Amino acid sequence: MIVFQTISLLKEKLLALRFAGKKIGFVPTMGALHEGHLSLIAASKKQNDFTVCSIFINKAQFNNEEDFIKYPVTKEQDILQLAMAGTEIIFMPSPEEMQRYTSYEPLQYDLQNIENVLEGKYRPGHFQGVCQVVEKLLHIIMPDTLYLGQKDFQQCLVLDMLVRQMNIPVQIQVCPIARTPDGLAMSSRNMRLSEDGRKKATTIFKVLTEIKTNLTDTNWAACQQKARQQLLDNGFEKVDYIEMCDPHTLEILTYAPAGKEVVLLVAAFIENIRLIDNMKTSASILTN
């Protein structure tokens, strides 16, 4: 395993690999790694000759200063976990190194309506920040496949839009959400929860599962309200959203015909930490 901190040395290495006809998989992360990240590494290792994992806490995607300051940093542990998972290349640039890479002003990406709903609505500027950094990383690494987690459902759609708009020749593979045995979606932010908070946080999975099981002849507004109340009754301080959306456009639905594929998405705060989760399902007769 090689750890690169500079773009020029990384590019040199990757150029040699590509010249030798090697397939390259790429897993971008912000560190504080857990089994969710490692599942993306495993998927990449299965399908490529070399896997690159980047660790970069992208300030541009934090709309909340406190969230940025408190974001967990576990560098040594991350490197160890990546080594044990067989990752060939780690890229850990400093903010200055990433800043130096281009001289142009950050682009304003056209993310259409996807930017105005759900995470986009509650975290203004978040997806522009994500695109700025991921576009740079893709230009530097030029992987064959980019591995993303369904955990960040909206981000997957945004990055799909980015690569199509910018004509970046990369495949995107979305990997399933890794959960703890009691259902909590793994997240770096979970490290900041108390033991009690972590247990209560599983309510998100419970409400998603309950909605999924009961999506038949259900009044969506009532379902939504019940789920919100259940979260508030189980230690969540605030619910940003519980929505049912079209999985391709993220159009917010209040009704879905029988058999329609939908995605249920939740964002809520517990112990002042914002957690997100989602679940795909197929709706049955729903009314609003």
Query: Angle 117-283-206 (CA atoms, 0-180°, nearest 5)?
Result: 75
Inter-CA distances, 99 with 7, 30, 62, 93, 146, Å: 11, 16, 16, 10, 22
Catalytic residue among 37, 126, 139, 248: 37
The vertex-150 CA angle with 193 and 42, nearest 5°, equals 90
Name the residue type at position 10: L
Q: Which is nearer to ligand AMP, 185 or 193 (CB)?
A: 185
Using CB under 6 A as the binding rule, whether residue 29 contacts ligand AMP is answered as: yes
Does 118 participate in binding ligand AMP (rule CB under 6 A)?
A: no
CB of 213 to ligand AMP, least distance (A): 22
* Gap between the Cα atoms of 59 and 56, Å rounded: 9
Among 39, 51, 81, 132, binds ligand AMP (CB under 6 A): 39
159-198: which residues touch ligand AMP (CB under 6 A)? 175, 177-178, 185-188
Q: Does 132 bind ligand AMP (CB under 6 A)?
A: no
Is 248 catalytic? The answer is no
Q: Are the CB atoms for 242 and 235 separated by under 8 Å?
A: no
Q: Does 123 bind ligand AMP (CB under 6 A)?
A: no
Site string for ligand AMP, 40-79 (x = CB under 6 A): x---------------------------------------
Q: Smaller CB distance to ligand AMP: residue 40 or 227?
A: 40
Strand positions, DSSP E, the chain: 2-4, 24-29, 50-55, 89-91, 145-149, 171-175, 218-219, 236-245, 252-253, 261-270, 273-282, 286-287
Q: Is residue 37 within the footprint of ligand AMP (CB under 6 A)?
A: yes
Taking the C-alpha atoms of residue 189 and residue 268, their distance in angstroms, rounded to an integer, is 13
Q: How far apart are the first and last CA of the chain?
A: 54
Q: Among the candidate windows 34-42, 213-221, 243-251, 252-260, which touches ligand AMP by CB under 6 A?
A: 34-42
Instruction: By CB under 6 A, name the binding residues for ligand AMP.
Output: 29-30, 36-37, 39-40, 148-149, 151-152, 175, 177-178, 185-188
Report, as residue numbers or ranges, the catalytic residues.
37
